[in-house]
Protein backbone atom coordinates (compact mmCIF):
# COMPACT_ATOMS: atom_id res chain seq x y z
CA UNK A 1 0.00 0.00 0.00
CA UNK A 2 1.36 3.40 -1.01
CA UNK A 3 1.64 5.85 1.87
CA UNK A 4 -0.65 8.85 1.58
CA UNK A 5 1.03 12.22 1.44
CA UNK A 6 -0.85 15.16 2.94
CA UNK A 7 -1.88 17.94 0.60
CA UNK A 8 0.24 21.04 1.08
CA UNK A 9 -2.72 23.43 0.74
CA UNK A 10 -4.27 21.93 3.88
CA UNK A 11 -1.18 22.09 6.06
CA UNK A 12 -1.35 24.34 9.09
CA UNK A 13 1.95 26.12 9.83
CA UNK A 14 0.50 28.21 12.65
CA UNK A 15 2.81 28.79 15.66
CA UNK A 16 5.54 26.43 14.42
CA UNK A 17 7.96 29.24 13.61
CA UNK A 18 9.94 30.64 15.27
CA UNK A 19 9.10 28.93 18.59
CA UNK A 20 9.71 25.31 17.64
CA UNK A 21 12.89 26.11 15.74
CA UNK A 22 14.24 27.88 18.82
CA UNK A 23 13.31 24.94 21.05
CA UNK A 24 14.94 22.48 18.67
CA UNK A 25 18.14 24.55 18.64
CA UNK A 26 18.11 24.70 22.44
CA UNK A 27 17.67 20.93 22.68
CA UNK A 28 20.50 20.40 20.20
CA UNK A 29 22.84 22.73 22.08
CA UNK A 30 22.09 21.15 25.44
CA UNK A 31 22.61 17.65 24.10
CA UNK A 32 26.10 16.21 24.59
CA UNK A 33 27.33 14.48 21.46
CA UNK A 34 29.93 12.39 23.24
CA UNK A 35 28.42 8.91 23.13
CA UNK A 36 29.27 7.85 26.67
CA UNK A 37 27.73 11.08 28.05
CA UNK A 38 24.69 11.18 25.80
CA UNK A 39 21.79 8.97 26.94
CA UNK A 40 20.94 8.37 23.28
CA UNK A 41 24.46 7.44 22.20
CA UNK A 42 23.93 3.65 22.34
CA UNK A 43 20.53 3.62 20.62
CA UNK A 44 21.66 6.07 17.93
CA UNK A 45 24.77 4.02 17.22
CA UNK A 46 22.51 1.20 15.97
CA UNK A 47 19.64 3.37 14.68
CA UNK A 48 21.43 3.95 11.38
CA UNK A 49 21.76 0.20 10.80
CA UNK A 50 18.08 -0.29 11.58
CA UNK A 51 17.08 2.41 9.08
CA UNK A 52 19.61 1.35 6.45
CA UNK A 53 21.73 4.50 6.81
CA UNK A 54 25.49 4.09 6.36
CA UNK A 55 26.58 7.75 6.65
CA UNK A 56 28.91 8.09 9.66
CA UNK A 57 27.40 11.49 10.61
CA UNK A 58 23.92 10.07 11.22
CA UNK A 59 24.44 9.17 14.93
CA UNK A 60 24.91 12.88 15.71
CA UNK A 61 21.74 13.78 13.79
CA UNK A 62 19.91 10.96 15.55
CA UNK A 63 20.98 12.35 18.93
CA UNK A 64 19.62 15.79 17.98
CA UNK A 65 16.25 14.31 17.02
CA UNK A 66 16.20 12.19 20.17
CA UNK A 67 16.96 15.12 22.47
CA UNK A 68 14.16 17.11 20.86
CA UNK A 69 11.71 14.22 21.18
CA UNK A 70 12.72 13.83 24.80
CA UNK A 71 11.83 17.49 25.42
CA UNK A 72 8.47 17.08 23.70
CA UNK A 73 7.49 14.48 26.30
CA UNK A 74 7.24 17.21 28.94
CA UNK A 75 5.35 19.71 26.77
CA UNK A 76 1.83 20.84 27.53
CA UNK A 77 -0.89 19.28 25.43
CA UNK A 78 -1.62 22.49 23.50
CA UNK A 79 2.00 22.78 22.31
CA UNK A 80 2.72 19.14 21.47
CA UNK A 81 1.17 19.29 18.00
CA UNK A 82 3.28 22.18 16.72
CA UNK A 83 6.45 20.65 18.18
CA UNK A 84 5.65 17.33 16.56
CA UNK A 85 5.12 19.06 13.22
CA UNK A 86 8.57 20.55 13.49
CA UNK A 87 9.94 17.11 14.36
CA UNK A 88 8.12 15.83 11.28
CA UNK A 89 9.94 18.41 9.16
CA UNK A 90 13.33 17.54 10.65
CA UNK A 91 12.67 13.84 10.12
CA UNK A 92 11.79 14.54 6.49
CA UNK A 93 15.06 16.47 6.22
CA UNK A 94 16.90 13.37 7.46
CA UNK A 95 15.15 11.18 4.87
CA UNK A 96 16.04 13.57 2.04
CA UNK A 97 19.69 13.78 3.05
CA UNK A 98 20.38 10.24 4.28
CA UNK A 99 17.99 8.15 2.09
CA UNK A 100 17.12 5.37 4.56
CA UNK A 101 15.43 2.16 3.48
CA UNK A 102 12.18 3.08 5.24
CA UNK A 103 11.63 5.96 2.75
CA UNK A 104 8.61 7.64 4.40
CA UNK A 105 8.38 9.59 7.66
CA UNK A 106 5.66 7.50 9.29
CA UNK A 107 7.34 4.16 8.69
CA UNK A 108 10.74 5.51 9.78
CA UNK A 109 9.29 6.99 12.95
CA UNK A 110 7.61 3.69 13.82
CA UNK A 111 10.95 1.90 13.49
CA UNK A 112 12.57 4.54 15.69
CA UNK A 113 9.92 4.07 18.39
CA UNK A 114 10.48 0.31 18.39
CA UNK A 115 14.22 0.77 18.76
CA UNK A 116 13.81 3.36 21.54
CA UNK A 117 11.70 0.93 23.53
CA UNK A 118 14.27 -1.82 23.00
CA UNK A 119 16.72 0.48 24.81
CA UNK A 120 14.22 1.34 27.56
CA UNK A 121 13.41 4.75 26.12
CA UNK A 122 9.68 5.20 26.52
CA UNK A 123 7.09 7.83 25.58
CA UNK A 124 8.94 8.67 22.40
CA UNK A 125 5.71 7.96 20.55
CA UNK A 126 4.17 11.30 21.58
CA UNK A 127 4.23 12.49 17.96
CA UNK A 128 2.70 9.39 16.42
CA UNK A 129 -0.63 11.13 15.86
CA UNK A 130 0.95 14.15 14.17
CA UNK A 131 3.72 12.74 11.98
CA UNK A 132 2.68 12.47 8.33
CA UNK A 133 4.38 11.86 5.01
CA UNK A 134 4.98 15.40 3.78
CA UNK A 135 4.76 16.05 0.07
CA UNK A 136 7.43 18.02 -1.78
CA UNK A 137 5.56 21.34 -1.72
CA UNK A 138 4.92 21.21 2.02
CA UNK A 139 8.53 20.30 2.70
CA UNK A 140 9.69 23.18 0.46
CA UNK A 141 7.55 25.61 2.44
CA UNK A 142 9.09 24.33 5.65
CA UNK A 143 12.50 24.88 4.08
CA UNK A 144 11.58 28.44 3.13
CA UNK A 145 10.37 29.30 6.62
CA UNK A 146 13.41 27.69 8.18
CA UNK A 147 15.68 29.77 5.92
CA UNK A 148 13.89 32.99 6.85
CA UNK A 149 14.10 32.44 10.59
CA UNK A 150 17.66 31.19 10.31
CA UNK A 151 18.70 34.52 8.74
CA UNK A 152 17.14 37.02 11.13
CA UNK A 153 20.47 38.82 11.62
CA UNK A 154 20.88 39.24 7.88
CA UNK A 155 17.37 40.71 7.62
CA UNK A 156 18.32 43.20 10.32
CA UNK A 157 21.38 44.20 8.26
CA UNK A 158 19.25 44.46 5.11
CA UNK A 159 16.85 46.86 6.85
CA UNK A 160 19.63 49.48 6.94
CA UNK A 161 20.38 49.20 3.21
CA UNK A 162 18.78 50.89 0.23
CA UNK A 163 16.03 48.80 -1.42
CA UNK A 164 18.10 47.78 -4.45
CA UNK A 165 20.78 46.27 -2.17
CA UNK A 166 18.50 44.19 0.05
CA UNK A 167 19.40 40.63 -0.96
CA UNK A 168 17.43 38.91 1.78
CA UNK A 169 14.36 41.10 1.32
CA UNK A 170 14.34 40.13 -2.36
CA UNK A 171 14.49 36.42 -1.56
CA UNK A 172 11.58 36.83 0.85
CA UNK A 173 9.54 38.32 -2.00
CA UNK A 174 10.20 35.20 -4.09
CA UNK A 175 8.75 33.09 -1.29
CA UNK A 176 5.78 35.43 -1.05
CA UNK A 177 4.92 35.34 -4.77
CA UNK A 178 2.37 32.56 -4.34
CA UNK A 179 0.55 34.66 -1.74
CA UNK A 180 -0.07 37.66 -4.00
CA UNK A 181 -3.42 36.47 -5.31
CA UNK A 182 -5.24 36.81 -1.96
CA UNK A 183 -3.98 33.47 -0.76
CA UNK A 184 -5.07 33.09 2.85
CA UNK A 185 -3.30 29.83 3.62
CA UNK A 186 -1.53 29.54 6.96
CA UNK A 187 1.80 29.51 5.13
CA UNK A 188 1.05 32.96 3.73
CA UNK A 189 -0.08 34.13 7.15
CA UNK A 190 3.29 33.10 8.59
CA UNK A 191 5.09 34.95 5.77
CA UNK A 192 3.07 38.10 6.42
CA UNK A 193 3.80 37.91 10.12
CA UNK A 194 7.50 37.48 9.38
CA UNK A 195 7.46 40.65 7.29
CA UNK A 196 5.75 42.67 10.02
CA UNK A 197 8.14 41.42 12.70
CA UNK A 198 11.44 41.36 10.82
CA UNK A 199 11.37 43.60 7.75
CA UNK A 200 11.11 47.09 9.19
CA UNK A 201 13.08 49.21 6.77
CA UNK A 202 15.01 52.21 8.10
CA UNK A 203 15.64 53.62 4.61
CA UNK A 204 13.12 54.40 1.89
CA UNK A 205 13.67 54.77 -1.84
CA UNK A 206 13.40 58.57 -1.79
CA UNK A 207 16.14 58.96 0.80
CA UNK A 208 18.41 56.62 -1.14
CA UNK A 209 17.72 58.52 -4.40
CA UNK A 210 18.61 61.87 -2.80
CA UNK A 211 21.84 60.49 -1.38
CA UNK A 212 22.78 59.01 -4.74
CA UNK A 213 22.11 62.33 -6.53
CA UNK A 214 24.21 64.31 -4.06
CA UNK A 215 27.05 61.83 -4.33
CA UNK A 216 26.93 61.97 -8.13
CA UNK A 217 27.08 65.77 -8.17
CA UNK A 218 29.93 65.83 -5.69
CA UNK A 219 31.89 63.35 -7.78
CA UNK A 220 31.40 65.40 -10.94
CA UNK A 221 32.19 68.88 -9.59
CA UNK A 222 34.80 68.25 -6.94
CA UNK A 223 36.90 65.53 -8.49
CA UNK A 224 39.86 67.91 -8.74
CA UNK A 225 40.02 67.88 -4.94
CA UNK A 226 40.85 64.20 -4.94
CA UNK A 227 43.43 63.99 -7.76
CA UNK A 228 47.12 65.01 -7.59
CA UNK A 229 47.85 68.59 -8.73
CA UNK A 230 44.15 69.28 -9.23
CA UNK A 231 44.46 72.89 -8.05
CA UNK A 232 47.47 73.39 -10.36
CA UNK A 233 45.90 71.93 -13.48
CA UNK A 234 42.51 73.64 -13.34
CA UNK A 235 43.68 77.29 -14.01
CA UNK A 236 45.70 76.17 -17.00
CA UNK A 237 42.82 74.23 -18.43
CA UNK A 238 40.58 77.28 -18.09
CA UNK A 239 43.20 79.47 -19.77
CA UNK A 240 43.46 77.10 -22.72
CA UNK A 241 39.68 77.02 -23.00
CA UNK A 242 39.57 80.84 -23.04
CA UNK A 243 42.24 80.97 -25.74
CA UNK A 244 40.30 78.43 -27.79
CA UNK A 245 37.09 80.45 -27.49
CA UNK A 246 38.83 83.75 -28.39
CA UNK A 247 38.02 85.26 -25.03
CA UNK A 248 41.61 85.89 -24.00
CA UNK A 249 43.49 89.01 -25.14
CA UNK A 250 46.55 86.94 -25.78
CA UNK A 251 44.93 85.35 -28.83
CA UNK A 252 45.33 88.30 -31.32
CA UNK A 253 48.81 89.02 -29.95
CA UNK A 254 49.82 85.44 -30.61
CA UNK A 255 48.32 85.57 -34.09
CA UNK A 256 49.94 88.96 -34.94
CA UNK A 257 53.27 87.84 -33.58
CA UNK A 258 53.17 84.68 -35.66
CA UNK A 259 52.20 86.54 -38.80
CA UNK A 260 54.99 89.15 -38.30
CA UNK A 261 57.59 86.43 -37.80
CA UNK A 262 56.35 84.65 -40.87
CA UNK A 263 56.48 87.89 -42.94
CA UNK A 264 60.05 88.70 -41.80
CA UNK A 265 61.16 85.18 -42.57
CA UNK A 266 59.61 85.40 -46.03
CA UNK A 267 61.32 88.77 -46.77
CA UNK A 268 64.71 87.39 -45.75
CA UNK A 269 64.26 84.36 -47.95
CA UNK A 270 63.22 86.59 -50.86
CA UNK A 271 66.27 88.83 -50.37
CA UNK A 272 68.63 85.87 -50.33
CA UNK A 273 67.08 84.56 -53.53
CA UNK A 274 67.39 87.95 -55.23
CA UNK A 275 71.07 88.34 -54.28
CA UNK A 276 71.80 84.89 -55.63
CA UNK A 277 70.54 85.92 -59.04
CA UNK A 278 73.08 88.79 -59.18
CA UNK A 279 75.87 86.25 -59.18
Give the end of a domain, one of 78, 112, 133: 133
The total number of structural domains that make up the chain: 2
> 124 and 73, same structural domain?
yes
Query: Within a domain: residue 186?
Result: yes
Rounded to whole angstroms, the Cα distance separating 57 from 176 reads 34
Question: What percent of the chain shows pLDDT beyond 90?
Answer: 58
Give the end of a domain, one of 155, 183, 201: 201
> 58 and 118, same structural domain?
yes
Which is more confidently placed, 108 or 229?
108
56 pLDDT more than 70: yes
Q: Of the candidates 69, 96, 88, which has an alpha carbon nearest to the alpha carbon of residue 134?
A: 88
pTM of the model: 0.72
pLDDT at residue 38, rounded to an integer = 83
Mean pLDDT of 61-83: 95
pLDDT at residue 208, rounded to an integer = 83
Query: Within a domain: residue 219?
Result: no
The model's pLDDT over 82-129, given as tens digits with 9 standing for 90+, comes to 999 999 999 999 999 999 999 899 999 999 999 999 999 999 999 999
> 193 and 148, same structural domain?
yes
Give the end of a domain, one of 90, 107, 133: 133
Query: Within a domain: residue 161?
Result: yes
| Phi, psi of 6, deg, nearest 5 | -75, 145
- Find all residues with CB under 8 Å of 112, minimum gap 6, and list them: 47, 51, 124
Structural domain boundaries, residue 156: 137-201
Rounded to whole angstroms, the Cα distance separating 160 from 153 reads 12
> 120 and 152, same structural domain?
no
Helix (H) or strand (E) holding 83: helix 77-98
- Find all residues with CB under 8 Å of 195, minimum gap 6, and list them: 172, 176
> 172 and 107, same structural domain?
no
How far is it between the farthest Cα atoms of the chain?
Answer: 137
Mean pLDDT of 125-146: 97
Rounded to whole angstroms, the Cα distance separating 186 from 29 reads 29
| Confidence grade of residue 35 (pLDDT, cut at 50, 70, 90) | low
> 190 and 144, same structural domain?
yes
| Phi, psi of 58, deg, nearest 5 | -60, -40
> 121 and 93, same structural domain?
yes
| Confidence grade of residue 227 (pLDDT, cut at 50, 70, 90) | very low
pLDDT at residue 255, rounded to an integer = 43
Averaged confidence pLDDT in the chain: 81
Which is more confidently placed, 201 or 63?
63
Q: Is 121 helix (H, G, I), strand (E, B) or coil?
A: coil
> 54 and 158, same structural domain?
no
Amino acid sequence: MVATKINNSDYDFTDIFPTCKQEYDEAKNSCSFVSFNNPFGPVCSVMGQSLGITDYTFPWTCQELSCYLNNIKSKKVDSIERNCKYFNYMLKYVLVNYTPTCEEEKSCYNKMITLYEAYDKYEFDKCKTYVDNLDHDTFSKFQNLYWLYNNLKNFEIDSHKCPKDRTYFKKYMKFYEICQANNNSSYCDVLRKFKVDNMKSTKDENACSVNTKILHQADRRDIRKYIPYGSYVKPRILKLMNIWNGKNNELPILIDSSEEKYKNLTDINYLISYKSLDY
